Amino acid sequence: MSRGKFITLEGGEGVGKSTQARLLADALRARGIEVVATREPGGTPGAERIRTLLLSNEGEGWNPGAEALLFAAARSDHVERLIEPSLVAGQWVICDRFIDSSRAYQGGGGGLDDTNLVELHAIGSGGLLPDLTLLIEVTPENAAQRISSRDGDTADRIGGRNTGYHALVASAFSSLADSEPNRFVRIDGNHDAAQTHKLVMTEVSRLAGGAG
């Protein structure tokens, strides 16, 4: 049994990642590939409990270090209990956000040192990296419009941070993509969902074993 492929979708708020993750999972299943579709923070019962701690607007919230540790703890459980066993079983794992979100949000937005975040990932998750990371990018205007039609005024604790924070996140994602061109591809998410999905499938089809 050959190991499955691990694909992550990344990007700021309102870029359409979740829609693209769903369309990608459906398209791969239609090609006979067994797919596990999951998300972060969350994906296992333990990690979903940590998700509530991280994103609910109750209480005073977390300092950037505590936030990074909680994301890393959730990821550790997710990798050990769901992602790694699925890959070993030959399934493809499509994950909405992964380690690059910690590097962009807690690092770029929160000011934590990138080397420390990578080290935390080594401790918690054996440094597991995706085979392919799709970075979906949209203009700030499109993101703002989609967020307001999706969330109204009910943003979670992190999504609701100011535009300065989100600009730092977007620029950190962009630098990550530049620094690892073999793992990342940039997807222009300014089109409608069906057109963006075509761009995604072109990139995914390049993965060894071919998906299309």
Binding-residue pattern over the window 163 to 202 for ligand TYD, x denoting contact by CB under 6 A: ----------------------------------------
Q: Which of 41, 107, 108, 124 binds ligand TYD (CB under 6 A)?
A: 41
CB of 40 vs ligand TYD, minimal distance in Å: 4
Stretch that binds ligand TYD, among 23-31, 34-42, 176-184, 204-212 (CB under 6 A): 34-42
Residue 44 binding ligand TYD, by CB under 6 A: no
- List the 92-96 sheet strands across, edge first: 35-39, 92-96, 6-10, 132-137, 184-188
Cα(4)–Cα(139) distance, rounded to whole angstroms?
33
Number of residues that bind ligand TYD (CB under 6 A): 16
- Nearest one of 131, 137, 133, 151 to 196, comparing CA atoms: 137
Stretch that binds ligand TYD, among 20-28, 100-108, 171-179, 184-192 (CB under 6 A): 100-108
Q: Which of 18, 142, 171, 190 binds ligand TYD (CB under 6 A)?
A: 18
Percentages helix, strand, coil for the chain (3-state, rounded to 5) are 55, 10, 35
- Nearest one of 197, 180, 186 to 135, comparing CA atoms: 186
Cα(40)–Cα(211) distance, rounded to whole angstroms?
24
Residue 13 binding ligand TYD, by CB under 6 A: yes
- Nearest one of 28, 49, 51, 25 to 37, comparing CA atoms: 25
Element spanning 172, H or E:
helix 163-179
Q: Site residues for ligand TYD, window 128-157 (CB under 6 A)?
A: 156
Judged by the rule CB under 6 A, the positions of this chain that interact with ligand TYD are: 13, 17-18, 39-41, 55, 71, 97, 101-102, 105-106, 156, 158-159
